[in-house]
Structure 1
Amino acid sequence: MTLSDELGAVVRAYLADRPDATWQAFARDVGAAGLLVPERYGGAGCGPAEAAAVAEELGRALSPHPFLQSAVLAVGALMADGDEDARARLLPELASGAATATVVLPDDGDLALADDRLSGSAPYALDGEIVLVYTGGHLVEAEPTRRTAYPTMDETRPLVSLTFDRAPVRRLGPGTSWARVRDLGIAALAAEQTGGAARCLEMATEYARSRRQFGRPIGSFQAIKHKLADVLLLVESARSAARAAAEAAAAEAAADTEAEADTEAEVFAAVAGSYCAEAYLTAAGENIQVHGGIGVTWEHPAHRYLKRATSDAQLLCPPRTHRARLAAHVFGEA
């Protein structure tokens, strides 16, 4: 069993035993908040593969913990573009769970930096106490002038609108590595989507074994068998795509040739971002179909997975955008 497998098993057991644990408790007991933080800043010093293992279990449990935005994107941004002062000041807080952070990427809004003042808005951002923004070729920290929470369809994934009205900024470093940070986040999100899809398959399979019609389990009917077999193929393929994206992100961080590493990581991230999002949507939909009427009731959790799959499919670019990025590598810019 690999370190990633062991970590995933620990997280699964913890979430099953303490489903209502706070982010601070989760960070303290499991160390997930500081997984990507180097040991000198109070973290575990692990890599994208271990982050993917945690993300998969969080997705399986529909956890609302801010792992993606704080432990992956924010830590990734600080490690890629933050200067030493920024890392020493922010990473220990993030690693301990004492604070959470979020990252606004260049495509996330209409933000403009002038005279160390930030103006504009990011209409849909993951929520975090500390806001890091890529803008004007820099990574900056800024306090939003206005922060508005949305009543989202997926209540396990809080989104906010961030507005900046000439808000003063603190420059943290160059903003040249934002694409790397995005791809790291896509790899973690793909793992999370895989975990959700796998749980949908488990629920559908369990129900197909126990629900009886015409004197036998519905899982014995060919139509149900084919549905479950198709979802199994999607889940296993999604897991392979997500792990490949995480491995490419790890190789990118350790590569000697930066250009080649960037290209490979972007390709694998685009594949995972496209495939895993649609696999999750299909698995969540088929889970409801197998359950029939009970699958659309408020009391059954199946609808919650469909909502998460739907919101995740728009996070960090929808599948069509990932395919467009992939096409540029496969067919060239033309």
Structure 2
Amino acid sequence: MEFAFTQEHEMIRDSAIRFLTQVSDSHAVRAAMSRPDGYDPAVWQRIGQELYWPALMVPEALGGMGLGFVELAILLEQSGRYLLCSPLFATTCLATPALLLADNAALQATRLNAIAAGTTTASLAFASGPGLDANSVQTEARPCTGGFRLTGTYTQVIDGAQADLLIVAARTPGSQGEHGISLFALPADTAGVVRQALPTLDQTRRLARIELHAVDVSDAQLLSATGQGWPLLRDTLQIAAIGLAAEQTGGAQQALDLTLAYTAERRQFGRSIASFQAIKHRCADMMLQVECARSAAYYAACVAQERLDPAGDAAVSSELDAAAATAKIHASEAFFHCAAESIQLHGGVGFTWEYDPHLYFKRARASEQLLGTPAFHRERLAAHLFGEQP
């Protein structure tokens, strides 16, 4: 497994930096935060139809670029660094992996082609309450003529109010645990779907509550065999956690960069405060955490790539549980630590609206809670290491 960036990887990273420097600076982020939809449609159109970022992992046969998750992680790191407000994460890390792992070839061809073309945004809705285990899926899928009737509620759906396509999880009545869970793809404008945007601490990422009121779906909308959707959903959530870890790593790096720039220009007692030993130690600790998070995130991205590749190494993809947990732990803690230190080392202006550290602090705290806290993933990692059922 090769961990060094290739020339192609460096080109992807550099082009992303050039683009995001133009369209996702501090002014653009604040403008997107004030919009009802949470992002600039013109920027998203460029992302989807000029840069083809949503097409990155989609196979060439379905209109995509046929690259892998490592390449996507490079883009996610930079999007996190620049706090890009867009449906990129929900579309590429939640919906796309679910469709790539699905068994329904006809559904894959239709939906992935639209995502690759940049004309469709998508998200994943599965939890009716707290938790990331199979028991958090409480929406009912009652069999009816020609398919199923879905009734239930989903909370904390990332970009759920703006997505064009929803991948939803539901279970047949009477089933428990990992049994009886099915995944369906349905257009967000389907009759009976009610979406409500939620107020959030982090205004750069939107969450929604989604209610399904007797929504009829056909068997053709199933991603996998009826009642056999939990393994697919579990792996999708782990892959999404890895993508989020890459994004958090970028945010942590930017919090460090902002701090280094400010301490270099801020003077006290006739000298730059960056020359003080105490400041140097704190910045060195931040850098160490960022590098640990980056290593964990990119190793996990390599594992995710093997899992998504039909011809991938089974021995490597079997490490997905441990790799995802490790990446999410390190990235969450690094991002929050760096964001908090950035506010402190900016002194009296660190928490003011005019300066950016508070934006990264809010994103760090919100991202820490998404797709499992560090404590949750430590429990999963311990269960994996001791051979227990996570």
Which TM class, normalised by the smaller chain length?
A: over 0.9
User: In structure 2, how many angstroms separate the alpha carbons of the residues matched to 1:25 and 1:220?
Assistant: 43
CA positional deviation for 1:283: 0.4
Instruction: Name the aligned partner's letter for residue 346 of structure 2.
Output: H
Instruction: Name the aligned partner's letter for residue 71 of structure 1.
Output: T
Is 1:95 matched with 2:145?
Answer: no
User: In structure 2, how many angstroms separate the alpha carbons of the residues matched to 1:253 and 1:45?
Assistant: 11
Whether contact under 8 Å (1:81, 1:177) holds in the other structure is yes
Partner of 1:133: 168
- Tell me the TM-score normalized by structure 1: 0.95
What does 1:213-292 correspond to in 2, within 5 Å? 213-254=268-309, 260-292=315-347
Is 1:117 matched with 2:149?
Answer: yes
Whether contact under 8 Å (2:100, 2:308) holds in the other structure is no
CA positional deviation for 1:41: 1.4
User: In structure 1, how many angstroms separate the alpha carbons of the residues matched to 2:209 and 2:10?
Assistant: 36
1:317–1:290 distance in 2 versus 1, CA, 3 Å: same
CA offsets, 1:89-133, max 9 Å, x none?
A: 111211122110001246465212112011111111012221101
Instruction: Name the aligned partner's letter for residue 265 of structure 2.
Output: S
User: In structure 2, how many angstroms separate the alpha carbons of the residues matched to 1:239 and 1:55?
Assistant: 12
1:256–1:92 distance in 2 versus 1, CA, 3 Å: closer
User: In structure 2, how many angstroms separate the alpha carbons of the residues matched to 1:169 and 1:310?
Assistant: 37
Instruction: Name the aligned partner's letter for residue 293 of structure 2.
Output: A
CA positional deviation for 1:82: 4.7
What does 1:20-31 correspond to in 2, within 5 Å? 21-31=42-52
Is 1:172 matched with 2:222?
Answer: yes
CA positional deviation for 1:203: 0.5
User: In structure 1, how many angstroms separate the alpha carbons of the residues matched to 2:103 and 2:92?
Assistant: 15
Instruction: Name the aligned partner's letter for residue 202 of structure 1.
Output: D
Is 1:5 matched with 2:3?
Answer: no
Give 3-state SS (helix, strand or coil) of 2:152's partner.
Answer: strand
Whether contact under 8 Å (1:37, 1:43) holds in the other structure is yes
Give 3-state SS (helix, strand or coil) of 2:67's partner.
Answer: coil
Give 3-state SS (helix, strand or coil) of 1:296's partner.
Answer: coil
Instruction: Name the aligned partner's letter for residue 23 of structure 2.
Output: R
1:9–1:221 distance in 2 versus 1, CA, 3 Å: same
Select which of 193, 198, 206 maps to 1:145. 193
CA offsets, 1:297-316, max 9 Å, x none?
A: 01111100000001101111
User: In structure 2, how many angstroms separate the alpha carbons of the residues matched to 1:274 and 1:201?
Assistant: 19
Partner of 2:247: 192
User: In structure 2, how many angstroms separate the alpha carbons of the residues matched to 1:279 and 1:2?
Assistant: 27
User: In structure 2, how many angstroms separate the alpha carbons of the residues matched to 1:190 and 1:273?
Assistant: 5
Instruction: Name the aligned partner's letter for residue 347 of structure 2.
Output: G
Select which of 51, 66, 69 maps to 2:90. 69
Give 3-state SS (helix, strand or coil) of 1:34's partner.
Answer: coil
More helix by share: 1
1:31–1:190 distance in 2 versus 1, CA, 3 Å: same
Select which of 345, 348, 358 maps to 1:293. 348
Instruction: Name the aligned partner's letter for residue 187 of structure 1.
Output: I
The 10-residue stretch of structure 1 (257-266 or 145-154) with the greater mean CA deviation from structure 2: 257-266
Whether contact under 8 Å (1:48, 1:250) holds in the other structure is yes
User: In structure 1, how many angstroms separate the alpha carbons of the residues matched to 2:234 and 2:317?
Assistant: 9
User: In structure 2, how many angstroms separate the alpha carbons of the residues matched to 1:257 and 1:14?
Assistant: 32
The 10-residue stretch of structure 1 (264-273 or 247-256) with the greater mean CA deviation from structure 2: 247-256
CA offsets, 1:175-202, max 9 Å, x none?
A: 2322221121111110000000000000
CA offsets, 1:247-294, max 9 Å, x none?
A: 111122347698744530110000001110111000000011110111
Give 3-state SS (helix, strand or coil) of 2:292's partner.
Answer: helix
Is 1:182 matched with 2:237?
Answer: yes
Structure 2: which 5+ residue stretches go unaligned? 1-5, 29-41, 172-180
User: In structure 2, how many angstroms separate the alpha carbons of the residues matched to 1:28 and 1:254?
Assistant: 25
Whether contact under 8 Å (2:343, 2:350) holds in the other structure is yes
State percent identity of aligned pairs: 36
Whether contact under 8 Å (1:284, 1:302) holds in the other structure is yes
User: In structure 2, how many angstroms separate the alpha carbons of the residues matched to 1:82 and 1:30?
Assistant: 29
Partner of 1:104: 125
User: In structure 2, how many angstroms separate the alpha carbons of the residues matched to 1:33 and 1:43?
Assistant: 8
1:222–1:296 distance in 2 versus 1, CA, 3 Å: same
Instruction: Name the aligned partner's letter for residue 185 of structure 2.
Output: E
CA offsets, 1:48-96, max 9 Å, x none?
A: 1001000000000001111111022211111101511111211121112
1:182–1:28 distance in 2 versus 1, CA, 3 Å: same
Partner of 2:21: 16
User: In structure 2, how many angstroms separate the alpha carbons of the residues matched to 1:5 and 1:177?
Assistant: 32
CA positional deviation for 1:173: 2.4
Structure 1: which 5+ residue stretches go unaligned? none
User: In structure 2, how many angstroms separate the alpha carbons of the residues matched to 1:81 and 1:155?
Assistant: 32
